[in-house]
Amino acid sequence: MTPAPSGHAGGGRWRPYALLAVPAAVYGTFVLYPLATTVRLAFYDWNGIATPVVTGVGNFVELMTNGRFVPALSHNAVFLVFYTVIPVALALLLTVLLAQDRPVGGLSVYRVGLFVPQVMPMVVVGVVWGWIYSPVNGVLAAVVEALGGEAAPYLGQVSTALPAVGMVASWVQYGFALVLFLAGIQRIDRTLYEAAAVDGGGRWDKLRHVTLPGLRSEIVVATVVSLIAAVRVFDLVFVMTRGGPSDSTNVVAYEIYRSAFLQREVGLAAAGATVMITIILALSLVVIRYGEQRD
Amino acid sequence: MRITRTLGPVLVVLTLAAAACLPGGQSSQQAAGGDGATAGSEAATEAGSESFEGQTLTVWDIYPRGAESEVVEQLNSEFEAEHGVTIEREARPLDDLKVQLPLALQEDDGPDVASVNQGQADMGTLVESGLLLDLSQFAEERGWAEAFGENLLERNRFTEDGSEFGTGNLYGVAPIAEVVGWYYNKAQLDQAGVEVPETFEELQAALAQLEEADLTPIAFGNSEGWPAIHTYGAVQHTYTDTGALDDFIFRRAGASFADDGSVEAAATVQDWAEQGYFTENFSGIGYDASWGQFAAGEGATMLTGSWISGELDQQDYGFFLTPGRDGELPPQIGGQGVPLAVRAGTDVPELAKAYIDWMTGERAAELWIEQGILPARVPESGAVEEGTLLADIVGAWDTVLEQNQLGHYLDWASPTMYDTLTSQLQALLAGRAEPQEFVEAIEADYTSAQ
């Protein structure tokens, strides 16, 4: 390493590190250390108070065989559809309808309107949707009955609870994706659409060859952010169903909470958290790599 | 109030010792001596109470809501005034409190007194870790076993290593009691021509009759899943006896859940769901909403705990216990509420114990009754107005204790039983599990926890 050319003899060389020390300490204390501790605890049996006892991979074996964690994981997979696939697809569709090959008017209205669900705390969203879905004086039940249908306890039956919570997640997420895409599409050179039109391209060709490539980085961001949200979803489930009925909406994060704080099996919870972190990292890497390769 | 002849002198000595270590301790020491000398026949009592002068007690309780919180505030301020102490109170729901307690109880400035949930997963873990103070000696001095019933205190007992439940040291006592039974809307029963049932058969007939009269026989909301534990438990209790239930809950050798009674009880509640006896769409209705509806006149009966009695009209509603198959009283779900316990590392153990004694004493019972809530200490007859809902509940509670028919919350049977029961009962009531499968799932949880 070359010594820094700046004036202060000796000081210059260490200065970048000195400046880094504070953020590094903060990051180390509040991110890396807890993360490392979590991973370490995954190999212990611990009730949160007494001395932890090493169990090796025992917690991971229990996760795979206790009949709770794997179903929870599969519910997260369903949430991927509601958190990522539906919102991104819907936002793309709306973007195309609203903005492809013409400038968007009144963009700030969309931004504010569609971003509101993002700004609302998820707990509030969950409580409000809980009312909407309620069979007692719920808005949805009233609408269904007005249309001649029969209202059902949407959050209370196994067949509908997971999609009912999932739709709320889609409602929250699509606004975020739409705002990203609307901003991104402004950057696409208008002349590309004109060129496509000259070449005889229709709407579909414009979408495939101009809009989608132009929005790639926004799509990657929206996908990564919503993937992470889907894997770690807790708040909506906690507020709306507590994992029920019959564990049909139980997800990994809720299972971790349950193990750590209700059953006092902190090691098991740490093992679950380790699995969750690994999945998030892996999915994010795949999506980001995929996005980069296409550039 | 009943600060104690036997303990008074001990407290004085302790406080003097403590005061001597503290700056400013001198003056309170003198004050204690001075007052004690003036007080005639109640000298010991006075000296005992004065001896806490200036101390601070931190209390975390689970009574943040309306009527309950008022009672606690009132009792606290009377206690503060009498002893010249300061109470720092924090009230939060049980679900929050039980998450925070394991850490808070390890801290030097943690709560001196806290509401600690019963059962192996909560109180058992804290005992195992040496975080709670053994109250056995104090309980003996105060005659708690007599005042509350030894079989009730049993549920707050653990061996010192936390391994055995229902025996050993005593770690807490609760201010209020609970009994699960049938609230009924008097007008609606009259309307359908239904009498309070004396046998389980009559109960079944009454439910059918209410259904025929186009009433909702049982107000029910089960979106959280736990209300069904009470519904099922009450029916299951009619097939068993207290001995078998104690064995099951305290996990004594040979205990099992897999018997015909458990299966038949499951079939009964499943049948109730199929017959439409429960509130329509109950699986999507929360517990609070369900008793709210019942209080507003929707539903002829509601099978739940005495804890909602303060929320219902005292004249319009009555209460009866689940009747037995042979007309004899079967075990009834109930017991003490969540007990108050003392942190092992507290600096003021005597004050903490005195506080618990006060919170569970006669004055406390009086205030709980005023708010329509069943106190843990059985009140003298005549303390409750005749013909009211609370009178029914107090009478029912007395009957349960007299006949020694106290049952159990089934979810105490293992650390994971709460989840298993809520999940399996939701499946049972939705017709997605057969009674036999349901019982097998419960038994599997029970045996795997050994």
Do A243 and A105 belong to one domain? yes
Note whether residue A238 is domain-resident.
Answer: yes
- CATH number (domain holding residue A153): 1.10.3720.10
Statement to judge: residues A113 and A153 lie in one domain: yes
Same domain, A103 and A243: yes
User: Which of A58, A255, A179, A110 has the alpha carbon at shortest distance from B416?
Assistant: A255
Q: What is the interface pTM, i.e. ipTM, of the complex?
A: 0.81
Residue A118 and residue A16 share a domain: no
Q: Do A150 and A282 have their domain in common?
A: yes
Tens of pLDDT, residue by residue over B297-351, are: 999 999 999 988 888 999 999 999 999 998 899 999 998 899 999 999 999 999 9
Same domain for B345 and B432, yes or no, is no
CA dist., res. B119 & res. A97, Å (int): 59
Q: Are residues A22 and A149 in the same domain?
A: no
Segments forming the whole domain that contains residue B265: 177-335+389-448
Nearest CA in chain B to A46: B125
Answer yes or no: do A167 and A265 share one domain: yes
Q: What is the pTM of this model?
A: 0.82
Residue B24: the pLDDT is: 36
CA distance A266 to A34: 14
Q: Which residues of B touch A241 (CB under 8 A)?
A: 223
* Cα(B117)–Cα(B120) distance, integer angstroms: 9
Phi-psi region of B241 (alpha: psi -120 to 50; beta: other; left: phi over 0): beta
| Residue B306, min C-alpha distance to chain A (Å) | 24
Same domain, B229 and B300: yes
Residues B280 and B354 in one domain: no
Does a structural domain hold residue A52? no
Q: Which residue of A50, A151, A158 is in closest CB contact with B129? A: A50
Question: Taking the CA of residue B131 as centre, how many other CA atoms within 13 Å lie in the half-sphere pointing to its CB?
Answer: 24
A110 and A225 in a single domain? The answer is: yes
**A244 and B289: CB-CB below 8 Å?**
no
B440 and B302 in a single domain? The answer is yes
Question: Does residue B5 lie within any of the structural domains?
Answer: no
- Collect all residues of chain A within an 8 Å Cβ-Cβ radius of residue B289: 134, 136
B331 and B439 share a domain? yes
Return all residues near B312 (Cβ < 8 A) that are at least 6 apart. Answer: B183, B294, B295, B372, B389
Q: What is the pLDDT of residue A160?
A: 93
- Asked if residue A2 is part of any domain, the answer here is no
Q: Is A184 domain-assigned?
A: yes
- Regarding whether B206 and B71 lie in a shared domain, the answer is no
Based on the domain organization, do B222 and B250 belong to the same domain? yes
Domain-embedded: residue B27 = no
| Percentage above 70 pLDDT, chain A | 93
Q: Count of domains in chain B?
A: 2
Distance from CA of A69 to the nearest CA of B (A): 13
One domain for residues A146 and A271: yes
**Looking at A111-125, A211-225, A237-251, which range is the least confident one?**
A111-125
Confidence of residue A108 (pLDDT cuts 50, 70, 90): confident
Are residues A264 and B293, on separate chains, in Cβ contact within 8 Å? Answer: no
Non-local (6+) Cβ contacts of B82 within 8 A are: B1, B49
In a domain, B418, yes or no: yes
What CATH number corresponds to the domain at position B356? 3.40.190.10
- Whether A48 and B102 lie within 8 Å, measured CB to CB: yes
Could you tell me if A103 and A156 lie in one domain?
Answer: yes
- Residue in chain B nearest A239 by alpha carbon: B224
> Both B99 and B199 in a single domain?
no
pLDDT tops 70 at residue A246: yes
Q: Range of A251's domain? A: 59-293
**Cβ separation of A136 and B285 shorter than 8 Å?**
yes
Q: Which parts of chain B have pLDDT scores under 50?
A: 1-50
Kindly state the average pLDDT of the residues A256-270: 91
In a domain, B353, yes or no: yes
Count of domains for chain A? 2
Q: Do residues B108 and B139 share a domain?
A: yes
Are A155 and B280 a contacting pair at CB < 8 A?
no
Taking residues A6-27, what's their average pLDDT?
Answer: 78
Mean pLDDT confidence for A23-49: 92
Are B163 and B205 part of one and the same domain?
no
User: A136 and B289: CB-CB below 8 Å?
Assistant: yes
B260 within domain boundaries? yes
Contacts of B430 in chain A (CB under 8 A): 157-158, 245-246
Q: Does A241 touch chain B (CB under 8 A)?
A: yes
Q: Is residue B383 part of a domain?
A: no
Q: What is the 3-state secondary structure (H, E, C) of chain B?
A: CCCCCCHHHHHHHHHHHHHHHCCCHHHHHHHHHHHHHHCHHHHHHHHHHHCCCCCEEEEEECCCCHHHHHHHHHHHHHHHHHHCCEEEEEECCHHHHHHHHHHHCCCCCCCCEEECCCCHHHHHHHHHCCCECCCHHHHHHHCHHHHHCHHHHHHHEECCCCCCECCCEECCECCEEEEEEEEEEHHHHHHCCCCCCCCHHHHHHHHHHHHHCCCCCECCCCCCCCHHHHHHHHHHHCCCCHHHHHHHHCCCCCCCCCCHHHHHHHHHHHHHHHHCCECCCHHHCCHHHHHHHHHCCCCCEEEEEHHHHHHCCCCCEEEECCCCCCCCCCCECEEECCCEEEECCCCCHHHHHHHHHHHCCHHHHHHHHHCCCCECCCCCCCCCCCCCHHHHHHHHHHHHHHCCCECCCHHHHCCCHHHHHHHHHHHHHCCCCCHHHHHHHHHHHHHHCC
CA A104 vs CA A87, A94, A111, A142, A179: distances in Å: 20, 12, 12, 36, 12
Average pLDDT of A21-33? 92
* Predicted pLDDT of residue B256: 93
- Asked whether residue A47 is assigned to any structural domain, the reply reads no
Taking only the tens place, the pLDDT of each residue in B92-111 is 988 889 888 988 999 999 99
- Look at residue A53 and tell me if it is in a domain: no
From residue B375, alpha-carbon distances to B62, B148, B357 in Å are 15, 10, 13
pLDDT tens per residue across span B156-202: 999 999 888 889 999 999 999 999 999 999 999 999 999 999 999 99
Q: What residues of chain A, 101 to 140, have a C-beta less than 8 Å from chain B?
A: 133-136
Residue B31 lies in a domain: no
- Both tokens of A290, joined, read 């995929």
Task: Name B128's Cβ contacts closer than 8 Å, sequence gap at least 6.
Answer: A47, A49, A50, B161, B162, B163
Which residue of chain B comes nearest to A242, CA vs CA? B224
Considering the domain architecture, whether residues A134 and A202 belong to the same structural domain is answered as yes
Closest Cβ–Cβ partner in A49, A151, A241 for B131: A49
B148/B188 same-domain check: no
3-state secondary structure chain A: CCCCCCCCCCHHHHHHHHHHHHHHHHHHHHHHHHHHHHHHHCCEECCCCCCCEECCCHHHHHHHHCCCHHHHHHHHHHHHHHHHHHHHHHHHHHHHHHHCCCCCCCHHHHHHHHHHHHHCCHHHHHHHHHHHHCCCCCHHHHHHHHCCCCCCCCCCCHHHHHHHHHHHHHHHHHHHHHHHHHHHHHHCCHHHHHHHHHCCCCHHHHHHHHHHHHCHHHHHHHHHHHHHHHHCCCHHHHHHCCCCCCCCCCCHHHHHHHHHHHCCCHHHHHHHHHHHHHHHHHHHHHHHHHHHHCC
Tokens encoding A281: 């990292």
Contacts of B97 (CB under 8 A, 6+ apart): B60, B62, B114, B115
Contacts of B158 (CB under 8 A, 6+ apart): B123, B124, B127, B164, B165, B167, B168, B169, B171
Q: Is residue B17 part of a domain?
A: no
B94 CB neighbour count, 10 Å cutoff:
17
Residues of B in contact with A152 (CB under 8 A): 281, 284
Name the average pLDDT for chain A: 88
The closest of B177, B174, B111, B179 to B360, measured between CA atoms, is: B174
Residues B67 and B98 both lie in one domain: yes
Judgement on whether residues A114 and A242 belong to the same structural domain of the protein: yes
The pLDDT value recorded for residue A102 is 65
